[in-house]
Amino acid sequence: MSLKQRFDGWIFNSYRVTAEGLALLRIFTALFILLFLIPGSGMAHFGFLSSLPLDFYSPPPGPLRLLDGFPSLEIFQIIHTILIVSLFAMLAGYHTKWASILTGISLLILQGFIYSVGKVNHEIVIPLVPVIMAFSNWGVAYSVDFWRKKRTSAPESWPLSLLALFIAAMMFTAGFPKILGGWLDPATQATQGHLFNQFFIRERQALLAGWAVGFNQVIFWEILDWLTILFEIGFIIALLKAGWFRMFVGLAVVFHFSTMLVLNIAFLPNFLAYAVFLNWDKLFRTFKTAYSRFSRISGPKSGDRSVFLFTGVMLILFLPLAWISRREFVLTQSDLMLHEFVLVTAAFTFVVFAAVKKASVLLSGKSG
């Protein structure tokens, strides 16, 4: 096989997608962003930004330096409205490609202004996912676009390879500075140092943080330093095979879960990107089978209704969680939000189940 054929195989055949699976992913992505990942978590924060004196407008090097200060609240309201409308259009699959791209652009603009107080947060995966997935034609099924009999294209799998490339490259940028910073030096326990910083300075003291601050096993903390770097740099190698990449995504979930328990940092935006690599077609078939079994309706109708059922289940799970989380009456010892804790824990539980299932299949195969 020539290099070109291998390269093509990696781009076009690493991941398999179906119209139905992509439809479920589109619905999940739209709801996840709408309820948990809107920049600023509402208009109040933009009201604050637009009221800041010019002294505190410090945009990072980039396009926002072309402006002299924060825009007025009205401008923020317009961009915010565009974001919400485009997210609903994406959810319904109405002009899906453009709605997804517009979602990404408006997310990017709002994030940029939030970061213009002097600190960039690394959440670019939130706009990246809808923009990249727009080209997968994820509005090809179970969408207004299909209903209107608009000409639609076939679903494409290469955007998943593209997203994998972005994730791997970004993970590398997280791991490489740690090597330069001295994380591999046995005399430094960098993870433990960050724990102290988060615990005492940022007062992130929920979950296992209190226990971890008192846990002084040098070897344990040093192993964590090394594992963190191996895992972050290893993503580049994992990029070569879809199976390896999915395994690293699973490891990432375990990593973020442990980081959440100890440092109270959830990295929820990353989970939006990780979710793209789930087997959404299998999930669609599971919902369809379950619906057909209970309703005794099969055929095309069962497909439509199982997608509505999936949307309903997502709403039933996400809406109360988002509502309770905003009340902030739990996890008061930290800025960690309840929805972050629940969603990351759910992802971790799923990964553990999947790993156990995979291991039992492998073991039974060997013994058989």
Partner 1 sequence: MGHFRRSSEPVRNQSTYSRMKKNRIRKLFIGLLIYLPLQYAVVGIVGYYDAEPWPAFVFPGFKSVYVYDDGFEITRTIFDVETLHRQRSHDMPPQELFPDIPLSQIPGFVRTHFSDEETVHNISEEGKAWLKSKAEEIAGFTPNAMHIIELTEYYRQTDEGAKLDMALESGRITILF
Structure-token match 């007062």, residue found: 203
Which one, 124 or 338, has the nearer CB to partner 1? Answer: 124
Could you give the CA distance from residue 171 to residue 238 in angstroms, rounded to a whole number? 11
> Closest distance between partner 1 and the C-beta of residue 348, in Å?
19
Could you give the CA distance from residue 130 to residue 134 in angstroms, rounded to a whole number? 6
Residue closest to 282 by CA, chosen among 24, 11, 12: 24
> Closest distance between partner 1 and the C-beta of residue 95, in Å?
15
Which one, 100 or 259, has the nearer CB to partner 1? Answer: 259
> Closest distance between partner 1 and the C-beta of residue 356, in Å?
26
Which secondary-structure segment (H or E) carries 221? helix 218-238
Query: Are the C-beta atoms of 343 and 260 separated by less than 8 Å?
Result: no
> Closest distance between partner 1 and the C-beta of residue 244, in Å?
18
Which one, 309 or 355, has the nearer CB to partner 1? Answer: 309
Which one, 188 or 352, has the nearer CB to partner 1? Answer: 188
Exposed, middle or buried, 275 (CB in 10 Å: 0-12/13-18/19+)? Answer: middle
Residues 6+ apart with CB under 8 A from 258: none
Could you give the CA distance from residue 196 to residue 169 in angstroms, rounded to a whole number? 29
Which one, 223 or 359, has the nearer CB to partner 1? Answer: 223
Handedness of CA 126, 131, 132, 135 (dihedral sign): positive
Query: Are the C-beta atoms of 93 and 146 separated by less than 8 Å?
Result: yes
Which one, 311 or 345, has the nearer CB to partner 1? Answer: 311
Which one, 170 or 275, has the nearer CB to partner 1? Answer: 170
Which one, 44 or 364, has the nearer CB to partner 1? Answer: 44
In single-letter form, the type of residue at position 266 comes to A
Residue closest to 341 by CA, chosen among 331, 326, 352, 332: 331
> Closest distance between partner 1 and the C-beta of residue 98, in Å?
19
> Closest distance between partner 1 and the C-beta of residue 255, in Å?
12
Query: Are the C-beta atoms of 133 and 276 separated by less than 8 Å?
Result: yes
> Closest distance between partner 1 and the C-beta of residue 321, in Å?
20
> Closest distance between partner 1 and the C-beta of residue 366, in Å?
28
Which one, 78 or 218, has the nearer CB to partner 1? Answer: 218
Exposed, middle or buried, 69 (CB in 10 Å: 0-12/13-18/19+)? Answer: middle
Ramachandran sector of residue 200 (left: φ over 0; alpha: ψ -120 to 50; beta: rest): alpha
> Closest distance between partner 1 and the C-beta of residue 241, in Å?
16
Count the Cβ atoms, other than its own, within 10 Å of residue 332: 10
